[in-house]
Amino acid sequence: MAWDFETDPEFQKKLDWIEDFMREEVEPLSHLGLAVYSSEGRQKFIKPLQQQVKDQGLWACHLGPELGGQGFGQLKLGLMNEKLGRNGLAPTIFGCQAPDSGNAEIIAHYGTEKQKEQYLWPLLNGDIRSAFSMSEPTGGSDPLTFQTRAVLDGNEWVINGEKWFSTNAKYAKVLVLYAITDPDAKDPYRRTSIFLVPTDTPGVEIVRNVAVGAGGEIGGGNEAYVRYNNVRLPYDALLGDRGAAFVIAQVRLGGGRVHHAMRTVGACRHALDLMCRRAVSRTTREGRLADLQMVQEQIADSWIAVESFRLLVLRTAWLIDKHKDYQKVRKDIAAIKVAMPKVYHDVATKAAHLHGALGVSNEMPFMHMVNSSLVMGIADGPTEVHKVTLAKQILKDYQPDNDLFPSYHIPKLREEAQKRFAKELGEIREHYAARRQAEKA
């Protein structure tokens, strides 16, 4: 009997340390805004905190020990990430910031020694940053529509194409690029390869940067529109095998989606926490907001939604630890990817609403949360695509009924049951017939 919802005491100590560290160190720092992210700010504020995390053995916990991580597994990581998820700065402090975390993971899995030397160790140390350059401006949901091409010229690749929303490309030392190398391969999923492209390679052009959300300057933001103009790379700029981009992507995207969901649990719990704090603090003529039934309904619904989502995420993490194969947990990962934006959006909207005008202002975190929930329904693939994956995975275990009426049609089931229990039913009938006779006599 192994259904256990308790954290073992040793790991709880680590979670308690993270809780205190988040409250005392990370959260105050996150209120300093952009100053923290400048190169001076990173040295002054971020590096010392990263060192504390390393000293605690909590750095880059999504990776195994051979790669400088702790090899905690996904369930422990899930419990950790819940705490990190309530603050946007925390993943940087703990060495698990997307897209670097996912990029490091695939370089670790598929990189040559030279590639690891060049990119993996500096990424893990937080010395360089990277970008993931897969989506294209013509459409990101269906990777089979991508057009960026890499053509061999002697022993060099020549790459041409455009990529869209390559997050952090402007800070990146290396771009993890998807390009078609084998357009004639029979299997369409074997046509694309991954390249590691140094950002300063001639021909790499950031056309413009795009920001998420309303406001801000056009051209600002972290989402790069990148053009690759006759970019020449040596043959060994390939990451992994030629034609293996989709296989490699599953490693990256599978893990990334789960880690986002884990952090979103933390963000949702944070929104609910603030909602409850407001409900017991703000009063109307009828008393506290918390005493109004409609507010109580919102709090109850939010709690149920967030805790159900949390259990689904932790169960998915547990399944990944069990199977050690993202393919086997595809259904569950798709499910949490679909649930994530909805639960987050609902609870963040309710929390904003309960705070009234203050809630929709830039003096509270809720509008940012609502924005993030919308992003989560798009980044790493839109909700609709994941619903299709989920439904297909569920349906593959079902066989068709070939009769006009299905096998679970009640008259049919009744007939089968009557046949099966004919003897017992006969005995019961005889029993009552005999009783009626006796009563008549």
Ligand X SMILES: Cc1cc2nc3c(=O)[nH]c(=O)nc-3n(C[C@H](O)[C@H](O)[C@H](O)COP(=O)(O)OP(=O)(O)OC[C@H]3O[C@@H](n4cnc5c(N)ncnc54)[C@H](O)[C@@H]3O)c2cc1C
Q: Does 206 bind ligand X (CB under 6 A)?
A: no
Tell me how far, at minimum, the Cβ of 155 lies from ligand X, in Å: 28
Does a cis peptide bond (omega within 30 degrees of 0) precede residue 99? yes
Using CB under 6 A, which residues numbered 331 to 350 contact ligand X? none
Among 69, 102, 140, 266, the residue binding ligand X under the rule CB under 6 A is 140
Instruction: Between 278 and 337, name the residue whose CB sits nearer to ligand X.
Output: 337
Q: Which is nearer to ligand X, 78 or 256 (CB)?
A: 256
Interaction of residue 264 with ligand X, rule CB under 6 A: no
Q: Does residue 385 bind ligand X (CB under 6 A)?
A: yes
Distances (CA, A) of 6 to 43, 78, 192, 301, 354: 38, 13, 44, 24, 33
DSSP per residue, 170-205:
GG-SEEEEEEES-TT-SSGGGSEEEEEEETTSTTEE
Phi, psi angles (nearest 5°) of residue 256: -60, -45
Interface with ligand X by CB under 6 A: which range of 35-43, 134-142, 270-278, 358-366? 134-142
Q: Which of 29, 210, 364, 375 binds ligand X (CB under 6 A)?
A: 375
Whether 226 contacts 206, CB under 8 Å: yes
Ordered DSSP codes for 211-275:
-SSS-S-TT-SSEEEEEEEEEEEEGGGEESSTT-HHHHHHHHHHHHHHHHHHHHHHHHHHHHHHH
Nearest approach in angstroms of CB 330 to ligand X is 16
Among the listed residues 91, 381, 386, 389, the single contact to ligand X using CB under 6 A: 381
Stretch that binds ligand X, among 104-112, 138-146, 181-189, 340-348 (CB under 6 A): 138-146
DSSP 378-398: TTTS-HHHHHHHHHHHHHTT-
Shortest CB 262 distance to ligand X, Å: 18
Task: Note whether 384 binds ligand X by CB under 6 A.
Answer: yes
CA distance 344 to 369: 8
Checking DSSP bridges between strand 156-167 and strand 192-198, what pairing results, if any? unpaired
In the complex, minimum distance from the CB of residue 84 to ligand X, in angstroms, rounded to a whole number: 18
Site for ligand X in 215-254 (CB under 6 A): 223
Q: Which stretch binds ligand X (CB under 6 A): 137-145, 239-247, 354-362, 429-437?
A: 137-145
Query: In terms of CB distance, is 29 or 378 closer to ligand X?
Result: 378
Q: What is the CA radius of gyration of the chain?
A: 27
Does residue 96 contact residue 32 with C-beta atoms inside 8 Å?
no
Q: Which residues inside 165-194 make contact with ligand X, applying CB under 6 A?
A: 165-167
Helix (H, G, I), strand (E, B) or coil at 212: coil
**Nearer Cβ to ligand X, position 158 or 375?**
375
Residue number closest to ligand X, CB atom: 140
Rounded to a whole number of angstroms, the minimum distance from the CB of residue 143 to ligand X is 8
Residue 33 per-residue DSSP state: G
Residue closer to ligand X, measured from CB, 131 or 319: 131
Which residues, 6 or more positions from 286, have their beta carbon under 8 angstroms from its beta carbon?
292
Query: Minimum CB separation from ligand X for residue 372, in Å?
Result: 9
The backbone torsions φ and ψ at residue 22, rounded to the nearest 5 degrees and listed phi first, read -60, -45
**What x/- string results for residues 87 through 116 when contact with ligand X is judged by CB under 6 A?**
------------x-----------------
Whether 347 contacts 305, CB under 8 Å:
yes
Which residues sit opposite 77 in a β-bridge?
A: none
Q: List interacting residues with ligand X (CB under 6 A).
A: 99, 132-135, 139-141, 165-167, 212, 223, 375, 378-382, 384-385
